[in-house]
Structure 1
Amino acid sequence: MTVNEIEAKSLLRKSKKIDSWFISRYGMNLYRGCFHNCVYCDGRAEGYYVEGEFGEDVAVKVNAVEVLRRELDPRRKRIPLKRCYMFLGGGVGDSYQPLEQKYQLSRQVLQLILEHNFPVHVLTKSTLVIRDLDLLKRINEHSRALVSFSFSSTDDTISAIFEPHVPAPSARLKTITRLKQEGISCGMFLLPVIPFITDSPRLLEESVRQAREAGVDFIVFGGMTLKDGRQKAYFHEKLSKNYPDLLTEYQEIYGHDKWGAASGKYYAGINRMFNSIATEYKMPQRIPLAYYRDILDENDLVVVILEHIDYFLKMRGEKSPYGYAAYSISQVKEPLSMMKGKLLDLKGVGRVTERIVLDILETGTSSYYHSLAGSGPDRMPTNLS
């Protein structure tokens, strides 16, 4: 394994619209590359431009905290950062991978987030996050903290094959229970489920059941992408050693999609299956509204709720216009409350969407959203202030 210390010119990734998966506009990669070396990781794909051998070579942004301190300084900004969760969970490297024990970049970033009074959403596979419980509790007291763990399943044996240097799912579940006992809200990102290996009804139900027993507050579900090039080649190599009989089935569902997507029919099938199981266990399938309703401005709140409605409908196998409407609204600079009479002028916004938007602007919530989410009126979770 090779560690390369580098200096970053910038750190904070800024999205043009609110991300409804993480309730964030701002994220960061403290490390490029990841010693977790998960077999399915799409960070291995050429499009992410991670240098060296993925899983064996990692670049550490040793000046990350210094750069972030400058980027968060309100005195340097003509336009203030918008209120949302700061997302600590890089797309090309886990912020709590083994190197974090030495460099402590994530811990220092949490301290900065606390100083600037931002909420934080951490996504990791590592139980090392418990080290920073003291800071997470302080952030939670002042604004809010969410900690989510990603899983391909809760089966320790399968995880040992596909997530070779990651704490076992059972250890991650125990860490969730500990965090919950300390008042920290936790999510499970059950993604990617691995086709024909962790996507069976039995394993999906077992994952949801164990998540509920551990105290998980929500589960975000998703299938696996497999991009042509290094990612697909590496995955097929490992698959041929452990599940050689599945190679033909993979060739049937994965073509040469630019984004590495499997067939729509495959995704639709596992989505319906998961939706049925999550509904049976009364498990929220997106971050519940109560966790961000009082954080986001009105435009971002409308966008997130509409995208969640879009997700709930598609998980049922239904068509939805709300994703397009959400994107259209995300481009609006003026507060929506100042243009209530002009909503129908926006692309993708029809009469039904207009009523939903007006409902959100007037009440901060949506009765239609709750009917789809299977939740009652908003109540703050007992472990949140």
Structure 2
Amino acid sequence: MTIIIKKRSIVKRNQIYIAVILYALFMNFSVISKAQVRYEKGDVFFEGKLWYRVTSVSPPEVEVTTKNSSAPYWDNEAEKPSGRIEVPETVRGMTVTAIGDYAFSETNVSSLHLPATVTRLGSYAFYRCNSLFFLNIDGVELIDEATFAECKILNEVSLPSVKVIWKDAFARCPDLSKVYIGRYALTIFSTAFNECKFLSKISVHPENERFYTFDNILFNKKETSLLLYPNYKSEHEYRIPEGVTAIGAHAINNKVFLKTLYFPTTLILLNDSALRDCRGLTRLVSYEPEPNHFQLNDNVFGNIDYEKCELVVPFGTEEKYRNAAQWKKFKYIIGGSNVKVKELDPSGLRIYPNPSRGEYWIELPWEDARLCVYRETGEIVFTQSLKKGKNRLYIDTPGVYMLRIETGEGQITRKLVVHP
């Protein structure tokens, strides 16, 4: 009896050993088979919770993609990714370098973690991801067309490493209010933030070589082009700074708050749809005596109400403007001898030493201001931003200069002498 029990226990133990060995062989074969599969460019496979497409064989690279190559991209709602998404750095020995076109389009992705290897987000990749609230995509260099368009609750975007933001990348995101652009940005397409009706704050890394913000308004670094005036900026009046020569395409589309807009004397070009959706605008002020001095591209004024928005021009030039094809739609063209810029209270403003050999200090009593330095001939030498408190100014060429300091409340002018 004892011998029989022993034999049975030996048999059972051997069966367990065999089962373990078979399972190990199966798992090893499974791992080896995945790793040793020879993939071709364009192959699609499923791993973990995501679908991938091979984009390069040498070096081996993949992008996150959709189950189906064309719409409908998923066979049913249950197949769509949702919740928190963790994208791995590698899969089956291949590096994940991109999120492909439409990869998470119209899904319920709520948060996103991308590895440093992902540098591109494809067209419509997160289109209508209506659970996505905050976005920080460090490492990504390219955001393609309409990548995050129409994400209903997306509120804040941080783009520390992005170099290119393509057209409509964040268009029609109704809750988007804050955007941070990092030091590496090179190209921002004119409609990248189109119709973001609650956008009020735009900031740029101070070391960015292409872009600059002042008072949450986006300019090129030289401050000669106004690129984006936030749709939800609440001031009723805006005086475009002197030195600006161009207003970018779709740059000023403030539908609600902006009522009066002043053109600078330096303005020449208004690009396509530059003021298209300024529906609340009731007063447009130009100091230019020659109406044909301006180059107005397609649909500059778009939805402006020509019967409610008065055009104020230099006194004595009204008839010229009425006869100019690009301005004659305005019903009320008024001589502007009464158009005056408010003079700032000089209390607290100090500029010293004056004269000097080129180095000056400006003590400013206002929070933020813009300085424009002119020669006596009226030629602009340069512009720069000023902060409340002590600011350094250096002019290296001897001569007599005019300084104009502008804030949202008005301006003040002072003469400066630079000795040899």
- TM-score between the two structures when normalised by the length of structure 2: 0.23
Which is higher, the Rg of structure 1 or of structure 2?
A: 2
Quick one: higher RCO (CA 8 Å, sep 6+), 1 or 2? 1
User: Greater share of helix residues, 1 or 2?
Assistant: 1
More strand by share: 2
